Chains A and B, each alone.
Chain A
């Protein structure tokens, strides 16, 4: 089994594999460390016929593997084990491939992108959680004026900046940047220019540090933890990573890009969605295919349970699963709010059109660097999206 996406995943996967021994006592599984995030290694292994029996399959290689017949369609097996009776409907949303079949699955809950804030830094500067864009601007202006980096962005990776932009788009259009990916919106539509204007304005006010594009995730977390930066953009999985920060971590329960008066209307339309792109898939050329497929499906359920029990992650299972350690206040507040969420968008890695994704990444980077104003950003994005459509 090709797994262990990150170090923190090991404990969860091992817990799940241990639980699986009771369900499949005669099956031996050898976990193998995943060595790439974008499926390049998997493609190479597929070319030489050495795909693992069960593997974490990123979204961007899913279509290719399905077309080449390297992975098994899961629909029949899912029906047989009544998978849909075990999970919330959100688990099965946006899972089907272009041929209408499901080839990879993950039973984890959607994990939105959030803005976390350091409660002590906010308190020391007389600030409270902003509920709309005007309040957010005030927060950024105050922090910047006091020499605190308002938002710690780990800009060495492109997705946090892109997700911040997506939050700004969601303030006007719940589909976010995913609408560009599906062709349901154009780059010149109002929601993108509004979002670009807001982000550009905040950048001019000193939203991110000068070295944001050379800061990696660990450095950004440390800046946030030490109070050198007041806020951080990350997925909701960060609650699990931030448990050592204890009750000093809060999150914005309102979209800070919402126009005044519209905060409540869009409070539960969130940016982000599936943290695990794609999901687990089964090698169509492996041995014991039927066993591998059923094993993988049950493993997904056990893994989802393990993530809740060990990390306190919100569960997408219909079975009631509770964390072994009580969640800290803001984490519990988030967990309690999940049932109210009306919609999610996508993370950067969930966008299917590689050219649109790259155009968004580069354009947003230039916007955040202060090199593009909103007009230049929209112009560049429109040109690249139009070229991608040809």
Chain B
């Protein structure tokens, strides 16, 4: 209502943000897009080479393993983080437990830890020779020693577990805040109508917090294609391309292959995939929006 009769004023107020967004996001994206059609060594002038970078990308033996790993990473992350975050948030909001504040803080502490620290922690757990899991298995007299980080599917899921553990608290807080905003009177009415805990959750809690869960869902799914630090520190994407993801591929193109153009082509592919996923989720969930 404030700007209903004053569109110039509205424009003036959003202009600074638009400018910052334009410079930091739009301009950089456009530059990256242009660079994806060029050959550049980072020092001399870039030369236009058309679609060669994209041809190289689609011919790369690392591409499909990287996409597979990114998808697996996203799925694991989403199931773990959203699943557990929703569960813990529900418990903290609706169940009267002892030391609630302590648990809220405890779940969030891993979020504050540096990725390097968490990565090294999980390397110490997964290490094939002296890792906690294998040593525990030996101590229990078992021969079950796994090469957690050096096998194709096992490796990426092991890293995804570490990443999930680190970030779960962040989503839990978002979902917790959304659940806290569900009016208590709704639950009272549901109880009077004879609805049990499960029915209350699916009929009330989940629909009324779905927007928050959707945001977390999009963040988790797209994060799998952008995840870098934990993978880089723990395995570097190796051995070979066993734990490579799109972002690791992008890093490798820039710093190992020294092909800035190819690196930008991979970056554009990541952006494209994330945008498609985001719009897909938005479209799929639009019809199920519930406003009360």
Contacts and interface: CB of A to CB of B under 8 A. Distances in A.
Contacts of A67: 43-44
B interface, by DSSP: helix, strand, loop or mixed?
A: loop
Contacts of B127: 211, 214-215
A43 B43 contact: yes
B43 A362 contact: no
Contacts of B126: 214
Interface stretch (B23-31, B188-196, B253-261): B253-261
Contacts of A109: none
A209 interface: yes
B59 A214 contact: no
Nearest to A69: B44
Chain B's interface size range is 20 to 34
B42 A43 contact: yes
A371 B259 contact: no
A353 to B, nearest CB: 10
A145 to B, nearest CB: 16
B234 A214 contact: yes
A92 to B, nearest CB: 25
Given A64-B41, A209-B128, A213-B150, A358 B240 contact: no
Given A68-B44, A213-B235, A365-B239, A358 B130 contact: no
Contacts of A369: 150, 239-240, 242
Interface string B252-286: 10011111000000000000000000000000000
Interface string B227-258: 00000001110111110000000001001111
A72 B145 CA distance: 56
B149 interface: yes
A40 B129 contact: no
Contacts of A47: 42-43
A129 to B, nearest CB: 25
Interface in B119-146: 123, 126-131, 134, 145
Nearest to A40: B255
Contacts of A357: 256
Considering the complex of A and B, which 5 residue pairs feature the smallest CB-CB distances, nearest first?
Answer: A210-B128, A211-B128, A64-B43, A366-B240, A369-B239
20 contacts: A40-B255, A43-B42, A67-B44, A70-B43, A155-B238, A209-B129, A210-B129, A210-B145, A211-B127, A211-B131, A212-B128, A213-B150, A213-B239, A214-B126, A354-B257, A362-B241, A363-B240, A365-B239, A366-B240, A371-B239
